[in-house]
Each structure stands twice: as structure tokens, then as C-alpha cells.
Amino acid sequence: RLFQDTPEPFDPAFGLSGMDDSHFFMRVKLSGAKLVWADEARVEEFIPASRAHTRWILKRAFRIGNGYVFCVRTLMPPHRWVVPRVAGALARIGYGTMMLPFAVFRGRAPTVSALRTICNGAGSLVALSGRLYEEYTVIHGR
């Protein structure tokens, strides 16, 4: 009943961006539906070796920042999302940039974390310009 006017629950426009599930859950939340958690639900996912690299982690952060803004822009009027998304993107880029010099001395994980924060903010800014990053044009693990 929730998506009677929608031919399918997942919008194919978000399929290659990897944000189709996020878009779905945002729509559910905005519709006022209640989301519930099931502790007994079991989920398993294979992580291919091609994703076990810093480059992929940073690309994923970019994709998430980019895709989130794209989801929001399709679901809300601009006055509700533009200023918060611009501010958030700039804050993430600024925070990651400030943390990076300190992170380098603390090791690889903190360095990647700072870079990931920067990439997430950069992805958001790119989405604000109207470009959706479609990471899943490449299939990993095959």
C-alpha cells in the first residue's frame, strides 16, 4: 500500500550508484511509515578482494556522499536541503583536512579515515552540481 503509485520499490535511476536502498528507506521514512529492526534477521555478504583496498574505500565514501545528496534532492524541495547539504559537505572536507596532518602520524587507519571524510564531502559537492556518481558500472569480485 505504501508504494501503490510506484511500479517498483527501488528506483532504477539509483541502481548503478548503489543508493537504491538508501533512496527506498528515505522514501519510507518521509512517508511516515514505521521502520522496525529484527535482531534475529541474519545477513551475510561476500566482500570481494577488489574492495579490500584504500582506493575502493575512498571511492565508496565519495559515492555515499554523492548518492545521499542525490537521494535528498529527488525527495525534498531545495529550500529544505541545499544549505544543510552545502554546509555539511564543506564541514566534512574541512574537518578531514584539519585531521589529516595529525592522522598521518597516528598511522594508516586514521589517515584513511581523514581522507574518507574528505572524499565524502567532495562527493556531496559534486552531487550539488548535478552529477550522480555511478560506481557500479564496474562489477567487483568477478
% of residues, the chain, pLDDT over 90: 54
The pLDDT of residue 37 is above 90:
no
**Which of 42-46, 47-51, 71-75, 106-110 is least confident?**
47-51
For range 45-70, the mean pLDDT: 91
Q: Is the pTM of this model over 0.85?
A: no
Is the confidence at residue 142, as pLDDT, over 60? no
Q: How many H-runs (helices) and E-runs (strands) does the chain carry?
A: 4, 0
pLDDT of residue 4: 67
pLDDT digits (tens, 9 = 90+) for 68-89: 999 999 899 999 999 999 999 9
Q: 10 Å Cβ neighbour count for 91?
A: 12
H or E element: which one contains 59? helix 54-75
Cα separation, 50 vs 104, whole angstroms? 24
